[in-house]
Structure 1
Amino acid sequence: MLQELFSPSVQHVLDLVGIFVFAISGALLAVRKNFDVFGMAVLAEVTALGGGLFRDLIIGAVPPAAFSDLGYFVTPLLATVLVFFLHPQVERIQLGVNVFDAAGLGLFAVTGTAKAYDYGLGLTASATLGLATAVGGGVLRDVLANEVPSLLRWDRDLYAVPAIVGAAMVALCIRFDVLNPYTSGLAAVTAFGLRLAALRFHWRAPRAWHRSSVSVEAPDQAG
């Protein structure tokens, strides 16, 4: 099914673009944490490949694409080199990085869901792995950097919800046999648009009803 949505060459290019942008976000966090170049490379690799690696191991697609395609491994290293030398300039175009990151989020949610279904998972499980593909690398990045994952923080703009919407749209399209390049593109664009809107308007998920805790944590808009 995944092969029906994108040609192998187009899929490969889209994957590398998403991997590159996710790797930049990992390397930038390493710079903010004052990690050395090895730490930057580790965070870049984990952020870019962690979600897809988790998905492939769960569905039995071994060896995972991250290990069978040299380009997948080298691309985060190129992002590391870029950030190592030009991190002040990259920080200044953070808005542009966020836009590409949102595009990668939507793309990986769609392709992750479709690939999981290709390997025999049900619709709910496929959508769940689509979400994991899109956000798993960021969770691993934050854990390695000794931070509460952005996915769990109330003071971060919506990130998982757009991916959930995109993955759910793909699952519904599969259910009604209407998944094609156009509907899958619509799902990716919807997730992309929701993420950009969340960044623009600072949309956040609600906290517990009638929450009485007075604990405060300074909002961090970097993520």
Structure 2
Amino acid sequence: MPLAAWIEYLAVAACAMSAVLAAEGKGIDLFGVLVLALVTAVGGGTIRDLCLGARPLFWIEQPLYVWTALAAAVVTFVLVRFVSLPAKTLGLIDAVGLALFGIAGTEKALAFGAPGIVAVLLGIVTGVAGGILRDVLRTEVPIVFRKDTELYATAVFAGSLLFIGLREWTEDAKWHRWLAMGVIIALRLAAMRWKWRLPMLRLRLR
């Protein structure tokens, strides 16, 4: 199995786990949790594939992605019922899923011949769209749109841009994707730790 496929499987599992953790306190039963996990795990990749014209969609072509998401969700669901996890667990798992899907999305877009900036945008979509759908289903403002959210999509933008730059200016190597994913995770976690945020729009009206 290609390394890129393994990365996407890990991304699916991480996003499914983050959905289960995000459902805590919402009074959602196991079925609802599984739906939330699936939407989160495949939502971003589905939008990416639709934009690229990739047919069939990645999870339809390979149903193992669906089983991976369901298995990760069930294991997490059972685990959190008996084990008290640290408060920062959700943020860490979400950052990992963000990085894995962000670079996987960028790489797939490049493989379909998309220009660099389009590949970066589709990497961002792949990374954050599942979380947006998750939060909408939880009747919350998506994390990427909240005023108190630390660097989120910006972290994917930086990592994807680095990934494309490394591919362009250095010999093709597997470490490109790992370095780019590491940058996304490090930037997201550092932003959470030190509250790094982008400036907000403030209109000066008379």
The TM-score normalised by the length of structure 1 is 0.82
C-alpha contact 1:123 1:175 (8 A) present in aligned 2: no
- Kindly state the Cα deviation for residue 69 of structure 1 after the two structures are TM-superposed: 1.6
Percent of aligned pairs sharing the same letter: 37
Match of 1:167 among 160, 167, 181: 160
Match of 2:112 among 119, 132, 135: 119
Question: Which residue is equivalent to 2:198?
Answer: 205
C-alpha contact 1:21 1:97 (8 A) present in aligned 2: no
* Counterpart Cα distance in 2 of 1:90 and 1:157: 28
Segments of 5+ residues of structure 1 without an aligned counterpart are 1-6, 213-223
Match of 2:137 among 121, 135, 144: 144
For structure 1, which segment, 11-20 or 132-141, has the greater mean C-alpha deviation from structure 2 after superposition? 11-20
For structure 1, which segment, 79-88 or 183-192, has the greater mean C-alpha deviation from structure 2 after superposition? 79-88
* Counterpart Cα distance in 1 of 2:92 and 2:172: 25
Match of 1:12 among 5, 13, 32: 5
Q: Deviations over 1:110-148 (max 9, x none)?
A: 221121011121111111001111111001111122111
* Counterpart Cα distance in 2 of 1:89 and 1:209: 46
* Counterpart Cα distance in 2 of 1:53 and 1:89: 33
1:60 aligns with 2:53: yes
Question: Which residue is equivalent to 1:156?
Answer: 149
* Counterpart Cα distance in 2 of 1:177 and 1:209: 41
Letter in 1 for 2:148: D
Superposition RMSD in Å: 2.3
For structure 1, which segment, 25-34 or 185-194, has the greater mean C-alpha deviation from structure 2 after superposition? 25-34
* Counterpart Cα distance in 2 of 1:91 and 1:143: 26
Structure 2 counterpart SS, 1:92: coil
Question: Which residue is equivalent to 2:23?
Answer: 30
Structure 2 counterpart SS, 1:31: coil
Q: 1:85 to 1:184 in 2, by over 3 A?
A: closer
* Counterpart Cα distance in 1 of 2:103 and 2:124: 9
The TM-score normalised by the length of structure 2 is 0.88
